[in-house]
Chain A
Amino acid sequence: MNTRWVAMILGGLFGAVIIAGLYFPILKQRVKQTAKIQPQSEEQARRELTQSLTANPTEARVNAKLFWASNVHDSSLTPVTVELPLSNEPVLRAKQVLNTLLAGPAGPELRTLPPDAVLLAFYLLPDGTGIADFSEAMASSIPSGIESEQRAVDSMTRTLAANVPGITRLKILIHGQEVETLAGHLDLTGSFVVSPRAAQAVIAPQIDPLASSAIPFTPLTPMSASRQTYAATPEPSTNSRKP
């Protein structure tokens, strides 16, 4: 009996080894296939969902004017005309142009917004204030600095001004929350004026410093999109400084 049982156990073990030997290459192949599939982050999934909702091929294609950086070392912005299917509904239209702005220009060095930032939501209040809710990457991935942060906001305000009528201000949220600054400098506690005049100005004129010291004047630069803090009523869209 003992010999018989020992033989049966050995036979079973031998069979298990044979089966494992046959299954191992299959298992290895499956692991490799799984590794090839990139894990999709929550933000990527949300972006795909957002883009599929906003990009409707049946909508009329129009020439949209998007503001990206003029060059690597310059804070100015240049309008680039892109043919896009844009909705007539302001909220949807704002999402479409902002998502295109986020997707970036042909030259990545001319990008004004972080590539991994996602527009989570866009709301439009009755007073004309648009509220753009971005993912945390908007704050964490943008280059820290007054110039880069202001340029990012300017590219959004000027793009909205050029393409979405009816939006007078832009309020920026990060992951649904109001934050103090974008990346340590630019004040996000207020809202930014979305001015059609700002959208028209492309090249910043240089001012004689002595003359400008006598007569206060802000050149119509991308830097001069005025910030308004909690004004009770909508103010006229203007980009020039008060004397």
Chain B
Amino acid sequence: MLLKVKNRDDNRRQRIGHNSFGYAGFTFFMLAATFLSVSGRSSAQAPTTQNPPASVAPQNTDPQTPNTVFSDSPRPRPGLNIVVLDPAHGGTDTGARGTGGIRESEIVLQFALQVRRALESQGFQVIQTRMANENPSFDDRSAMANAQVGAVFVSLHVSSTGLPGTVRVYVNSDLPPASGGREASGLIPWDRAQAPFLFLSHKLGDFVQGNLAVRFRGSPGSSQAAAIRQLRTTAAPAIAVEISSVAVNDRLDLDRMAPGVADAIARGVTDFRPSYVVAGVPGGLR
């Protein structure tokens, strides 16, 4: 079922403006600029909205100069700039639960705050799929990443099992090509949106896992493949980071891991940044 498709032309248009600037707003201001140019009115006389978006450039008062919208707007650098951070579970879904009352949904939210700070210190814009004890659906979380350009998706988990004090990175298992040539038309089926990004996801996963293995002895040296529901519908390089585990006797054991996990993820994503622009990979460039 084709629930949602990504159109690369749309993405290119979005790249012109600010990432958070909506397509509807972009279209409105483009139309307004066209109207003003045609009518020859100066921008200073143009009617403005009460709350213009921050990304709109200062109005051009020189009638000799072409009126350029977004001329001074902060254009995003090409490539990877955004990390969509996903503290898994939440709401009524507590995820893994330890005998000591440790809940995965609470731990990952705390980890997310530290990971966010570490990523922002590396210059990334961070978008979280949830900020409180709520539970967006798998598709809602994926949609937050799929709406971005130049983004990666990092889902945070705490396991029930595994050697305590270790961290594993997972990427989605292989997804077979879609039948019917849908991808040839530039449309990506929602239910297998991750397929074109698997190559980049593995690279990202290996970079992050390599940094984690240095900090947490006993962790694997490379990322592993698993059929993770959350990653399948994500149209971006996507990984799941799973920390072991809720079975620890003292919650402080997990809390002590947070700075190392945050630093390793931030460094891993930074290391991956040059690899994000890989020609010839379907979906690698948007």
From A73, A185, A232, A241, give the contact of B225 (CB < 8 A): A241
Q: Does B81 contact A (CB under 8 A)?
A: no
A187 adjacent to chain B (CB < 8 Å):
yes
For the complex, what is the distance from the CA of A10 to the CA of B15, rounded to whole Å?
A: 100
Instruction: Indicate whether A147 sits within 8 Å of B168 (C-beta atoms), given known contacts A226-B173, A231-B176, A235-B176.
Output: yes
Distance between Cα atoms of A31 and B221 in the complex (Å): 61
Contacts of B161 in A (CB 8 A): 73, 75, 143, 145, 147-148, 151
Determine if A212 and B222 form an interchain contact, defined as CB atoms under 8 angstroms apart: yes
B153-175 interface mask toward A, CB cutoff 8 Å, 1 = contact, 0 = none?
00001111111100010101111
Interface hub of B95, B174, B245 (most chain A Cβ within 10 A): B174
Smallest Cβ-Cβ distance to B241: which chain A residue: A146
Given contacts A144-B96, A147-B242, A228-B174, contact A209 B104 (CB under 8 A): no
Report how far A213 CA is from B138 CA in the complex, Å: 28
Provide the main secondary structure of the chain A interface.
loop
Q: Give chain B residues whose Cβ lies under 8 Å from the Cβ of A147.
A: 159, 161-162, 168, 242, 244
> Which residues of A sit under 8 angstroms from B179, Cβ to Cβ?
232
Say yes or no: A150-B226 contact (C-beta < 8 A), given A143-B96, A184-B89, A232-B179.
yes
Tally the A-B contacts, defined by beta carbons under 8 Å. Answer: 137
B-facing residues in A6-51 (Cβ within 8 Å): none
Find chain A residues with CB under 8 A from B242 CB: 145-147
Interface size class of B (residues with CB under 8 A): 35 or more
From B93, B213, B225, A223 is in contact (CB under 8 Å) with B225
Q: Which are the 4 A-B pairs with shortest beta-carbon distances?
A: A227-B227, A209-B210, A143-B160, A145-B159
Q: Please, could you name 17 A-B residue pairs with CB atoms under 8 Å apart, sorted by A? A: A75-B161, A145-B96, A146-B159, A150-B227, A184-B88, A185-B226, A187-B232, A206-B221, A209-B213, A212-B206, A221-B224, A223-B170, A228-B175, A229-B191, A229-B192, A241-B225, A242-B174
For residue B96, which residues in chain A have a CB less than 8 angstroms away from its CB? 143-145
Q: Which residues of A contact B175 (CB under 8 A)?
A: 227-229
Which A residues have a C-beta under 8 Å from some C-beta of B? 73-75, 143-148, 150-151, 153, 180-181, 184-187, 189-190, 192, 206-210, 212-213, 216, 218-219, 221, 223-229, 231-232, 235, 241-242
Cβ-based interface call for B116 (8 A): no
Let me know if B229 is at the binding interface, CB within 8 A.
Answer: yes
Q: Which residues of A contact B141 (CB under 8 A)?
A: none
A213 touches which of B93, B174, B207 (Cβ 8 Å): B207
B179 to chain A, nearest CB (A): 5
B221, A207: Cβ atoms closer than 8 Å: yes
Chain B residues in 8 Å Cβ range of A75:
161-162, 168
- Chain A residues with Cβ below 8 Å from B176 are 228-229, 231, 235
Q: Which residues of B contact A146 (CB under 8 A)?
A: 157, 159, 168, 170, 226, 228, 240, 242
**Contact status of A192 and B227, CB under 8 A, knowing A148-B160, A228-B174:** yes
Please pick, from A184, A207, A209, A226, the residue contacting B95 in the complex, using a CB distance under 8 A. Answer: A184
- B190: shortest Cβ distance to chain A, in Å? 12
Q: Within the complex, which residue of B160, B206, B220 is in contact with A206, where a contact is CB–CB below 8 Å?
A: B220
Which residue in chain B gives the minimum CB-CB distance to A74? B163
**Given A147-B242, A231-B176, residue A187 in contact with residue B228 (CB < 8 A):** yes
**A227, B228: Cα distance in complex, Å:** 9
Give CA–CA (A151, B227) in the complex, Å: 11
Query: B209 near A: Cβ within 8 Å?
Result: yes
State A74–B159 Cα separation when bound (angstroms).
Answer: 13
User: Are B157 and A208 in contact, CB atoms less than 8 angstroms apart?
Assistant: no
Min Cβ gap A208→B in Å is: 7
The chain A residue with its CB closest to the CB of B226 is A150
| CB <8 Å contact, A145 and B228 | no
Complex CA–CA separation, A151 to B181 (angstroms) = 34
**A213 to B206, Cβ gap below 8 A?**
yes
- B89: chain A residues within 8 A (beta carbon): 184
Over the window 203-217 of chain B, the binary record of Cβ atoms lying under 8 Å from chain A Cβ atoms (1 yes, 0 no) is 100110110010000
